[in-house]
Amino acid sequence: MSEDEARFPPVDAVSVGLRGMCPRCGQGKLFDGLLKPKDHCANCGLDYNFEDAGDGPAVFVILIMGFVIVGMALWLEVNYGPPLWLHMLLWVPLATVLCLGLLRMLKGLMIALQYRNKAAEGKIDHG
């Protein structure tokens, strides 16, 4: 029987992904800035070149925040009927801040799940 060669205890992919931490050790930062992933983890040295979040997080942000913001705007319009300038003053900044925050969390989650599931580009075996 072979020995377990794991050097890092398993971490919860959802927890570390939403917090923007390294998917292997759960300690190092995943992002360099707001949305750009770092080259590697400063704590465990994991190379982040495997990450390919693509458009997945953006699609989820559009669907989730579209539902929330449009729902709140419709509720406000039906109940109080404020002028258009007030809608713009309320919803544009709120949507911007919420979308950027949610995009960072969902991108971190997508990267952590890619690492946990060893997701890679599809290859056809011609053997």
3-state secondary structure the chain: CCCCCCCCCCCCHHHHHHHCECCCCCCCECECCCCCECCECCCCCCEHHHCCCCCHHHHHHHHHHHHHHHHHHHHHHHHHCCCHHHHHHHHHHHHHHHHHHHHHHHHHHHHHHHHHCCCCCCCCCCC
pTM: 0.82
User: What integer best gives the mean pLDDT of the chain?
Assistant: 89
Share of the chain above pLDDT 90, in %: 70
Question: Average pLDDT for residues 51-59, to the nearest whole number?
Answer: 88
pLDDT category, 4, cuts 50, 70, 90?
very low
pLDDT category, 57, cuts 50, 70, 90?
very high
CA atoms of 8 and 41, how far apart (whole Å)? 13
Residues 113 and 17: beta-carbon distance below 8 Å: yes
pLDDT digits (tens, 9 = 90+) for 79-123: 999 999 999 999 999 999 999 999 999 999 999 999 998 887 776
pLDDT category, 1, cuts 50, 70, 90?
very low
pLDDT at position 51: 85
Domains of the chain, by residue range, sit at: 13-116
Q: Which residue has the tokens 């979308």?
A: 99
